[in-house]
């Protein structure tokens, strides 16, 4: 397949190959043209892997397309070699990768690295699989518990495009529901991609799909398989053998033929955010892909994210939720125990474990009935944040609403407030809040003209503009706003004096010498006052529930204790009396359902220095509580958290929709994603400063920070949603400039990063 030197002649037809070269430089993120030598005319097919000479080096690349002529002015080189004629880059995936790269201010080749697994020559030489038999459509009966469920399945069956945000009932056998969706598509000779957080979920959903659609129709793609196995399975999808793909995040790019339905399960799980550049999120990629492919999409989970709520609010996706009557039948009985309700059990052993009566009794009853009891304990290693001493609402910066923390010696506290710039300020308007001392600033926060005011270019009304489901989710690429423009965003106090708006507290916050400091913008807050209850006292969140769980084991001395966590994760536990201690995300499934669950990780989850802390706590609680039997079958859940808190109320009432609405409203008020588009930029101080200087932001653009993060610095950049595309373009352009200049330092850019501190 190698072209020999000297005697090269271009192919007779379509002699020009457009090639994505595998170089890491942002400013080279475009195809380069090469001549196809006559002897490679047949093998140099669109989508194949090639090697080309690029700047004197041999580099890998993907052949995007063959065309008749080039518009390059200079002399073209020849392709050096066709690595393999296998067309691994399907046109659909190429378009998707381009859109994802643009959405995340990254490069095509970075996305292709995520999308296309490494080649394995021996596997490629194996004969292609037979197309799998078309399965029959499954029985949609279980979907009748959800009013719009059967209609959605019917749309998938008929090959119509439909979107949905689905909240599963507690106890729902969701792997089987996902298998039904996939098999319904496969029955119509369409493909399906089911994306789940981890390999345990892959195994469960794969088994469910095999049971419905047959072994040959389904393939499991997850990173834990070796390279040969991985490539073989992926190839079987590419070659049309398997119609249903079950996998973890990278399978969003699986080259299924004629995709009919995409599903992301538990979209709030941070495993759905790829840790490799350009850090795409499964939900975003599937929204884009479903739209481009005319396929259906389900964003699913027990809990609902603010992002999913936005899809509903904008009219992009109708919701699939059960009626309250169904929920009453399915839900375990859930109670919350705050500190005030914390009545210790009389039993001496339980007393030693500091187990409240209600929890102790719930566990005792379940164990007496021969059923396992789930005990959810926090993982170690959460960064302690500051919260209100009195009501434990996380303490937030009054200017940018970032999380407050205690500065470690010699670090973030030193950054002056003057580092904060906004596009508006650059344009010449002096803005009020910048560079003032804290009390002065506090006075100004609620006033018009603060940094958080919606600019003149923002839409005047809050709210969403609904669009028909067949409309583009965003102009020309990934949906900047699924369903178009979303209303304006404002900071604290923007509209009518919000939560933290009018505080003007004298005196120190907690009596310490070092004032609490915002982890985002670096501004110290010498006059903290809780926005929720008005208290001026702060506390650091501390955790001790792991020990509680151990002591609980002693309280039930004759019951076996099983443990599932970071070191060893159990998939399933036997259906008999046992204490199952698990960290969030590692809860084993109990076949008949747990008799009870004790959720002891409340403060650790709610106290995380993360804007998603509440949503994340609810998500993890619901995942655990969903494993418990219905209340009328004795199922009990006890959560150790203050019942006044929104996530706790949402759990007790099993109302993920109510919580998601609140969460989204709060993000709109505070100026967090998904209400705004935000990016983080990390790098050495000097390089970052230059990078930020050169950013050409849209009018709504604003820079927070930088603040010190470890050895480097981090800034946050945000714009309104409608300027999301412009933000990504600005960041990409700034990266192009840097790599073109051969700057030695690199700046890491992430859009809408999940962890924002």
Partner DNA sequence: GCAATGAGCGTC
Partner DNA sequence: ACGCTCATTGCT
Q: Which residues bind DNA (CB under 7 A)?
A: 25, 27-28, 32-34, 53-57, 70, 72, 74-77, 740, 742
What 3 state SS string does 183-224 have? Answer: HHHHHCCCEEEEECCCHHHHHHHHHHHHHHHCHHHEEEECCC
Q: Residue 70 or 729: which CB sits closer to DNA? A: 70
Minimum CB separation of residue 27 from DNA in Å reads 6
Which residues fall within 8 angstroms of residue 141, CB to CB, at 6 or more apart? none
Minimum CB separation of residue 29 from DNA in Å reads 11
Minimum CB separation of residue 72 from DNA in Å reads 3
Give the three-class secondary structure for 123: helix
Q: Residue 536 or 738: which CB sits closer to DNA? A: 738
Peptide bond into 278 cis (omega under 30): yes
Q: Residue 35 or 582: which CB sits closer to DNA? A: 35
Q: Residue 226 or 744: which CB sits closer to DNA? A: 744
Minimum CB separation of residue 733 from DNA in Å reads 16
Nearest to 492 by CA among 401, 420, 417: 401
Q: Residue 76 or 271: which CB sits closer to DNA? A: 76
Q: Residue 72 or 144: which CB sits closer to DNA? A: 72
729: its two tokens? 């373009």
Peptide bond into 674 cis (omega under 30): yes
164: its two tokens? 């949905």
Which residues fall within 8 angstroms of residue 658, CB to CB, at 6 or more apart? 650
Q: What is the sign, positive or negative, of the torsion defined by CA atoms of 560, 566, 568, 573? A: positive
Q: Decide if 417 contacts 457 (C-beta within 8 A).
A: no
Concatenated DSSP letters of 653-702:
TT-HHHHHHHHHHHHHHHT-TTTEEEEEEEE-HHHHHHHHHH----TT-E
Q: Residue 34 or 654: which CB sits closer to DNA? A: 34
Q: Residue 6 or 56: which CB sits closer to DNA? A: 56
Which residues fall within 8 angstroms of residue 711, CB to CB, at 6 or more apart? 684
Spell 423-442 as b/e; 16+ CB within 10 A means b: bbeeeeeebbbbebebeebb
Minimum CB separation of residue 36 from DNA in Å reads 11
64: its two tokens? 């995007």
Q: Residue 685 or 740: which CB sits closer to DNA? A: 740
Minimum CB separation of residue 642 from DNA in Å reads 57
Reading across the β-sheet that carries 191-195, which strands appear in turn? Answer: 218-221, 244-247, 191-195, 259-265, 296-301, 163-167, 319-320
Q: Residue 547 or 741: which CB sits closer to DNA? A: 741
Crossing angle (nearest 10°) for helices 685-694 and 724-740:
120
Minimum CB separation of residue 28 from DNA in Å reads 5
3-state helix, strand, coil in the chain (%, to 5): 35, 20, 45
> How many Å from the N-terminal Cα to the C-terminal Cα in the chain?
51
Question: In degrees, to the nearest 5, what angle opens at C-alpha 680 toward C-alphas 678 and 686?
Answer: 140
Q: Decide if 677 contacts 718 (C-beta within 8 A).
A: yes
Give the three-class secondary structure for 166: strand
Q: Residue 63 pairs with which residues in a beta bridge?
A: 19
335: its two tokens? 């109670």
Nearest to 353 by CA among 382, 375, 381: 375
Concatenated DSSP letters of 2-66:
PPPSSS--B-SSS-EEEEEE----GGG-S-EEEEPBGGGTTT--TT-EEEEEETTEEEEEEEEEE
Residue 368, judged by CB atoms within 10 A of its CB (0-12, 13-18, 19+), counts as exposed
């Amino acid at each position: 397949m190698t072209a020999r030197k000297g005697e090269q002649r271009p192919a007779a037809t379509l002699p020009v190959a457009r090639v994505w070269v595998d170089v890491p430089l942002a400013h080279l993120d475009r195809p380069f043209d090469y001549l196809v030598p006559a002897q490679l005319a047949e093998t140099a097919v669109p989508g194949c892997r090639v090697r080309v000479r690029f700047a004197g080096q041999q580099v890998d690349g993907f052949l995007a397309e063959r065309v008749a002529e080039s518009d390059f002015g200079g002399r073209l080189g020849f392709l050096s070699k066709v690595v393999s004629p296998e067309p691994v880059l399907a046109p659909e995936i190429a378009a998707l990768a381009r859109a994802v790269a643009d959405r995340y201010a990254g490069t095509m080749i970075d996305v292709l690295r995520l999308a296309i697994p490494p080649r394995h020559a021996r596997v490629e030489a194996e004969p292609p699989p037979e197309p799998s038999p078309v399965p029959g459509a499954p029985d949609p009966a279980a979907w009748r518990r959800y009013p719009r469920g059967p209609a959605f399945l019917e749309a998938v069956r008929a090959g119509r495009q439909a979107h949905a945000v689905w909240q599963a009932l507690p106890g729902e056998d969701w792997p089987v529901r996902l298998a039904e969706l996939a098999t319904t598509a496969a029955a119509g000779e369409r493909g399906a991609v089911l994306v789940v957080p981890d390999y345990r979920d892959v195994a469960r959903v794969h088994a469910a799909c095999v049971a419905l659609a047959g072994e040959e129709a389904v393939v499991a793609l997850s990173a834990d398989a070796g390279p040969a196995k991985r490539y073989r399975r992926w190839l079987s999808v590419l070659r049309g053998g398997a119609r249903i793909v079950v996998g973890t995040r990278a399978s969003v790019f699986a080259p299924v033929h004629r995709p009919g339905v995409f599903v992301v399960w538990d979209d709030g799980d941070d495993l759905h955010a790829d840790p490799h550049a350009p850090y795409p999120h499964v939900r975003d990629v599937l929204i884009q892909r479903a739209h481009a492919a005319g396929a259906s999409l389900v964003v699913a989970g027990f809990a609902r994210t603010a992002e999913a709520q936005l899809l509903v609010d904008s009219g992009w996706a109708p919701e699939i939720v059960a009626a309250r009557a169904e929920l009453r039948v399915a839900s375990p009985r859930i109670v919350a125990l705050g500190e005030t309700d914390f009545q210790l059990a009389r039993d001496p052993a339980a007393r030693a474990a500091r187990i409240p009566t209600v929890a102790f009794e719930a566990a005792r009853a379940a164990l007496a009935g021969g059923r396992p009891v789930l005990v959810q304990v926090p993982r170690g290693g959460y960064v302690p944040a500051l919260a209100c001493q009195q009501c434990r609402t996380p303490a937030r910066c009054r200017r940018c609403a970032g999380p407050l923390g205690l500065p470690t010696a010699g670090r973030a506290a030193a950054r002056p407030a003057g580092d904060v710039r906004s596009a508006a300020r650059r344009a010449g308007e002096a803005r009020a809040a910048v560079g003032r001392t804290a009390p002065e600033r506090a006075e100004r926060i609620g006033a018009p003209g603060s940094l958080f005011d919606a600019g003149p270019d923002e839409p005047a009304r809050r709210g969403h503009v609904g669009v028909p489901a067949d409309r583009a989710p965003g102009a020309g690429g990934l949906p900047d706003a699924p369903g178009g423009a979303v209303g304006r965003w404002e900071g604290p106090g923007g509209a009518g004096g919000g939560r933290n708006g009018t505080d003007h507290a004298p005196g120190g916050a907690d009596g310490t010498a070092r004032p609490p400091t915002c982890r985002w913008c670096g501004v110290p807050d010498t006059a903290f006052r809780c926005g929720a209850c008005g208290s001026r006292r702060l506390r650091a969140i501390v955790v001790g529930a792991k020990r509680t769980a151990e002591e609980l084991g002693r309280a039930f001395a004759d019951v076996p204790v099983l443990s599932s966590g970071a070191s060893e994760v159990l998939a399933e536990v036997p259906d008999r009396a046992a204490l199952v201690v698990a960290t969030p995300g590692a809860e084993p499934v109990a076949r008949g359902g747990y008799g009870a669950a004790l959720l002891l990780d409340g403060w650790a989850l709610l106290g995380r220095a993360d804007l998603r802390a509440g949503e994340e706590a609810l998500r993890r609680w619901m995942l655990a509580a969903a494993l418990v039997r219905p209340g009328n079958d004795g199922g009990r859940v006890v959560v150790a958290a203050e019942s006044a808190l929104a996530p706790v109320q949402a759990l007790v009432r099993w109302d993920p929709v109510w919580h998601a609405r609140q969460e989204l409203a709060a993000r709109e008020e505070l100026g967090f994603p998904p209400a705004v588009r935000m990016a983080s930029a990390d790098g050495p101080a000097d390089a970052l400063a230059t990078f930020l200087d050169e950013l050409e932001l849209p009018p709504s653009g604003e820079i927070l920070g930088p603040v010190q993060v470890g050895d480097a610095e981090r800034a946050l950049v945000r714009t309104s949603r409608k300027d999301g595309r412009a933000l990504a373009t600005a960041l990409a352009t700034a990266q192009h400039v840097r790599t073109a200049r051969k700057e030695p330092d690199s700046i890491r850019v992430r859009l809408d990063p999940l962890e924002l501190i």
